[in-house]
Structure 1
């Protein structure tokens, strides 16, 4: 019998989707058949990475991402809850009608679980930072986590890269699965002085793109921009010493990062893990009002791994600060195949 596993990343930038790539590859290596389930750019990205796999379009959360993210999320809670219920109904119907589905792996999609089969939740944010309301947001997220059979945390048991985001004694279903990246470190000739990775939901993705284009406009170094715009066809163009891509897939991005001296990007957790596996020097620009990225940037700076700046204050001279930081570094991690033994269980009636 074919054993199918639904893999469903949240469509919030490409970080959740990109860190599902090594999970999908590991499932295939262990004779499972992944089914990609998401929406928007995340779905398009994974469909292009794995064109041979079946895919399922889920309802979009369509989170409006303004200046005050926390307030926006509170105001949108009724809409988010409605989408969560719709998503869960769709998944339950799909599982009911597809007996070959033996498990679910959800990366931060609250409604992608089913009580008849083992369901896994992936997050590095057991604790959700939100200022004075951190206790409430963390409590609510941990209640969601308990709906799943296991919660996989992409970090080591010391929470080396996620810090207090993943540190808790309140959940017994947590498993630290190690640093998760789709990339492998290669010793290649450095051809790129500066690699700029633009990512995240709009309008903040465009804010970052516009600012960094202006900052590096007349720079004489060899610079490459990857703009994070997943479209039907890849585009590449050049302006002076700068090369632009609308987006790149995993193999090409792996080479770009391996051949770069310095990387400038958001302090998103998936980016941090990728750069750590590739042993890179990075400068972070956290998304304003996104508590997770702001915390991670400060946390890694306190460990002398990487400097950071807010977007308004960033200028290219700040890259000189990298001389005082050790860079990001983690050993390559192979997913423990014992993780997938959970999916050997029979369906519950």
Structure 2
């Protein structure tokens, strides 16, 4: 009998789900049986990637996002009681799942209620410091309180001074349970001819994903450059349309995205951390448009701009002409490491 490991990414954009893909594959390669648990688009994506695996729907946090960036934090604060209730429901559901499916271990990517006192539980995050402006000390303290309930915390980055997550994943005081496991990416670098001048990759929560899509469509529709536009909307059927020099996809699976990334000269995208890890794996050049009000993405955009790695701008200030700046930046370096999955998964071995 293979040990069953529950792997549960947060449904907040698609980044948490996509960075779990290499972990699910590593579990299978090391003789474990992964069971997927999430909700919404994150669950839909992983079910498409791993149709043969058992998948379980978890309670949704059902967070609504502000249309204006300056309202983002306050809207989140108002919804804290709803989040706490969802986490309690999640904990109750996990208790039954562990018993019913004979779970031997848990890997939670930012789902705060997905842990058990009966089996080893791992938390994945790149945010040991949770930025929220003047309240960063409080959000960080609350996050660390939840992390303390897990046996181990895996940070998808390297531990050295040269790293991808900056202050997010590298606090002044590092807890004993923290393990830097190297960046996680489902993408592989391939030597393919360039087919697209620009790849647009959208992701993240609504309504900001739609607002950025409308903005980019308007700005790029008159371009003569060959553009691939991936909307990041996971639906039952893949849809493809061509308008002038722009090819639109509603979504792509991992294999298609891997090819598309490699066939594109530059990438226009959010500065979400999962996307950052993909860009680093490919050593690509990019232009970032952080989600308005998301301190994490705004920080990462500023970090890579100051390091002359990638230019960026606010969503409302984007113009197609700004993409010319990309060529004056050096692009990403690959920080990949050979992750010792056998050692990491040793936590789940039966005594």
Pairwise TM-score range, normalised by the shorter structure: over 0.9
**Partner of residue 123, structure 1:** 125
**Distance between the aligned counterparts of 1:334 and 1:47, measured in 2?**
27
Aligned match for 1:296, one of 300, 305, 311:
300
How many angstroms does 1:345 deviate by? 4.1
Aligned pairs (5 A) from 1:250-265:
250-265=254-269
TM-score, normalised to structure 2, is 0.97
**Distance between the aligned counterparts of 1:232 and 1:137, measured in 2?**
36
Matched, 1:75 2:78: yes
How many angstroms does 1:329 deviate by? 1.6
Aligned match for 1:213, one of 217, 228, 251:
217
Matched, 1:43 2:43: yes
- Kept in 1: contact 2:182–2:335 (CA 8 A): no
Q: In the TM superposition, what whole-angstrom CA distance separates every residue of 1:32-51 from its partner, at most 9, and x where no partner exists?
A: 01001000000000000000
**Distance between the aligned counterparts of 2:72 and 2:347, measured in 1?**
36
**Distance between the aligned counterparts of 1:334 and 1:15, measured in 2?**
21
**Partner of residue 149, structure 1:** 151
**Distance between the aligned counterparts of 2:233 and 2:224, measured in 1?**
25
Matched, 1:341 2:336: no
Aligned match for 2:100, one of 97, 100, 113:
97
**Distance between the aligned counterparts of 1:2 and 1:257, measured in 2?**
35
**Distance between the aligned counterparts of 2:115 and 2:31, measured in 1?**
22
Structure 1 residues 163 and 331 mapped into 2: Cα distance closer, same or farther (>3 Å)? closer
Aligned residue for 1:312, secondary structure, equals helix
Matched, 1:31 2:31: yes
- Kept in 2: contact 1:179–1:330 (CA 8 A): no
- Kept in 1: contact 2:234–2:250 (CA 8 A): yes
Q: In the TM superposition, what whole-angstrom CA distance separates every residue of 1:229-253 from its partner, at most 9, and x where no partner exists?
A: 1000111111011100000000000
- Kept in 1: contact 2:157–2:165 (CA 8 A): yes
Matched, 1:233 2:241: no
TM-score, normalised to structure 1, is 0.97
Matched, 1:84 2:87: yes
**How many residues get paired?**
345
- Kept in 2: contact 1:118–1:345 (CA 8 A): no
**Partner of residue 57, structure 1:** 57
**Distance between the aligned counterparts of 2:72 and 2:36, measured in 1?**
28
How many angstroms does 1:296 deviate by? 0.3
Aligned residue for 2:316, secondary structure, equals coil
How many angstroms does 1:170 deviate by? 4.7
**Partner of residue 111, structure 2:** 109
Which deviates more, 63-72 or 326-335? 326-335
- Kept in 2: contact 1:142–1:171 (CA 8 A): no
Q: In the TM superposition, what whole-angstrom CA distance separates every residue of 1:287-321 from its partner, at most 9, and x where no partner exists?
A: 11100000000011111111101111111111121
Q: In the TM superposition, what whole-angstrom CA distance separates every residue of 1:168-202 from its partner, at most 9, and x where no partner exists?
A: 21522100000110111001100100000111110
How many angstroms does 1:324 deviate by? 1.8
Stretches (4+) displaced over 3 A: 331-334
Matched, 1:173 2:177: yes
**Distance between the aligned counterparts of 2:62 and 2:333, measured in 1?**
35
How many angstroms does 1:220 deviate by? 0.4
Matched, 1:16 2:16: yes
Q: In the TM superposition, what whole-angstrom CA distance separates every residue of 1:115-159 from its partner, at most 9, and x where no partner exists?
A: 110000000001100111000000000111111000000000026
**Partner of residue 243, structure 1:** 247
